[in-house]
Chains A and B, each alone.
Chain A
Amino acid sequence: MIALTLPAQDGGTFNPPGVNSHLPAFFTIGDFEFTKQMLLVLLSVVLISWFFIAAARKGKLVPGKLQFAGEIGYNFVRNSVAKDVIGGKDFMKYVPLLFSLFFFILVNNIYGTIPYIQLPSFSHVGGTYFLAALVYVIWIGAGFKVNGIRFLKLAVVPSGVPWYILPLVVPIEVISNFLVRPMTHSLRLFATMLAGHLIVLIAGSGIEFLIMQESVLMKGASVLVLVGSIAMYMLEALIMVLQAYVFVLLTAIYIEGAIHADSH
């Protein structure tokens, strides 16, 4: 995206990787290219299923180490997200969705920190569009199911607003709730993942480029880039976990807002 071009010193120009840099597909069937992203997405499904089934299978009252680890993960989504945000009697219905979303996104993000894999699956926008659309359909569906057709009014007309401000407020609410919300929901995850991935890639290829230079100063500069990239790498790891949490937390908030629309 950034057309950063260092002046030619010894070894030509530095062509930083950008959004158009893609790994070659593993194989192609007609129009279908099986890419690393797809493999990682499928792998994440296997990993999550395997881990949690192995953890939950025994179901002992006094959990072992594996079961305890699984319960920590499950409890986090069940209690800290679903129960705390949605609350009441309804939250259990949404626990499977929130749980799947959280660990699906978490594992696919964490790929970005693992050497050799080093590719967060959601640095491509397609997956996040799908997940955000799914959540969009679910919270609107839940809103209509609980509140009936009244949900349309409840969702866009905030209570306690004087009538003469409504013409101003209602369009804003419509735009923010029904148009902007799924956009931000999907793009937030995609953009952070892509940006993080690019930073790591640019740092990596930058170090490689600098090392290749003959000037000692240029070689030495690669150490600075290395130090900086490690800090960025740590920050990325944090953001990857955080974004999975944010995505699920927002999902829970949207659902809560929809099913309790009459009390907002």
Chain B
Amino acid sequence: MKNLMISAATAESENPLAPNWWEVLVVACGFAVLMFIVVKFVVPMFEKTYAERTEAIEGGIAKAEKAQAEATAALSEYKQQLTDARAEANRIREEARAEGARILADLKDKAAAESARITEQAQVAIAAERQAAVVSLRAEVGSLATTLAGRIVGESLNDDERSTRVVDRFLADLEDQGTSKQNAGALQ
């Protein structure tokens, strides 16, 4: 290195604060070129990238916020629908229960009415039968008594055996008559 140098001893002494104007010129030109390149290319390129990056990030955030809002809206809608559906189901169940109860009550009423009707009819029929029986008995008891008395009178009343026979025969006749009369009544 030393041999490359013009030694201090040989060079004339110079003031280090005095500029070499050629160097000033070279630095000025070099710096001007550098400034030009930086202003024209480097800074716009970096700033463009930054702007794009900012936009991408902000756009992404906006997109995410939108999606979030949509999701929230959809969720609340679903919840609303679910609540509605539950209420609907409850309502339907309540209605069905009421309907069932109503139907049951109706059927009970109907059954009660029917049974009452049947009972009444039966009672009416029984009363009618009874009335008919009373009427026919009334009509027949006289004639039967008359017939029986005639027969008794017609036979010897002393003979116990005979009288017993007569009574038995009478009763058998009576039964026969009663049966035929009943049959007649049923046919009527």
A residues near B (Cβ < 8 Å) are 1, 15-24, 31-33, 35, 37-38, 41-42, 44-45, 48-49, 52-53, 56-57, 59-61, 63, 67, 70-71, 74, 78, 92, 95-97, 99-100, 104, 121, 124-127, 129-131, 134, 187, 194, 201, 204-205, 208
B43's partner among A17, A20, A71, A96 (CB-CB below 8 A) is: A96
B145 at the interface (CB under 8 A from A): no
* Cross-chain contact B38 with A41 (CB below 8 angstroms): no
Contacts of A129 in B (CB 8 A): 19, 24
B186 at the interface (CB under 8 A from A): no
Q: A15-B7, A33-B22 are in contact. Are A59 and B45 (CB under 8 A)?
A: yes
* Cross-chain contact A100 with B22 (CB below 8 angstroms): no
Contacts of A134 in B (CB 8 A): 31
Say whether chain B's binding surface is mostly helix, strand, loop, or mixed.
helix
Say whether chain A's binding surface is mostly helix, strand, loop, or mixed.
helix
B residues 1-46 in Cβ contact with A at 8 Å: 1-2, 4-9, 11-14, 16-24, 26-28, 30-31, 33-35, 37-39, 41-43, 45-46
Contacts of A201 in B (CB 8 A): 1
* Cross-chain contact B49 with A44 (CB below 8 angstroms): no
Contacts of A18 in B (CB 8 A): 8
B31's partner among A16, A23, A126, A130 (CB-CB below 8 A) is: A130
* Cross-chain contact A205 with B52 (CB below 8 angstroms): no
Instruction: Please measure, in the bound complex, the distance between the C-alpha atom of A127 and the C-alpha atom of B73, giving whole angstroms.
Output: 66
* Cross-chain contact B43 with A42 (CB below 8 angstroms): no
**Can you list 9 A-B contacts with CB-CB less than 8 angstroms, sorted by A residue number?**
A53-B37, A53-B45, A60-B49, A63-B49, A96-B38, A100-B31, A104-B31, A130-B24, A131-B31
- Closest residue on chain A to residue B31 by CB atoms: A104
B16's partner among A19, A63, A127 (CB-CB below 8 A) is: A19
B residues near A (Cβ < 8 Å) are 1-2, 4-9, 11-14, 16-24, 26-28, 30-31, 33-35, 37-39, 41-43, 45-49, 52-53, 56
Instruction: Please measure, in the bound complex, the distance between the C-alpha atom of A185 and the C-alpha atom of B48, giving whole angstroms.
Output: 33
Contacts of B11 in A (CB 8 A): 20-22
Contacts of B39 in A (CB 8 A): 96
- Closest residue on chain B to residue A59 by CB atoms: B49
Contacts of A121 in B (CB 8 A): 27
- The smallest C-beta distance from A135 to any residue of chain B, in angstroms, reads 11
Instruction: Please measure, in the bound complex, the distance between the C-alpha atom of A74 and the C-alpha atom of B19, giving whole angstroms.
Output: 31
Instruction: Please measure, in the bound complex, the distance between the C-alpha atom of A21 and the C-alpha atom of B6, giving whole angstroms.
Output: 6
Contacts of A194 in B (CB 8 A): 16
Contacts of A208 in B (CB 8 A): 1-2
Contacts of A204 in B (CB 8 A): 1
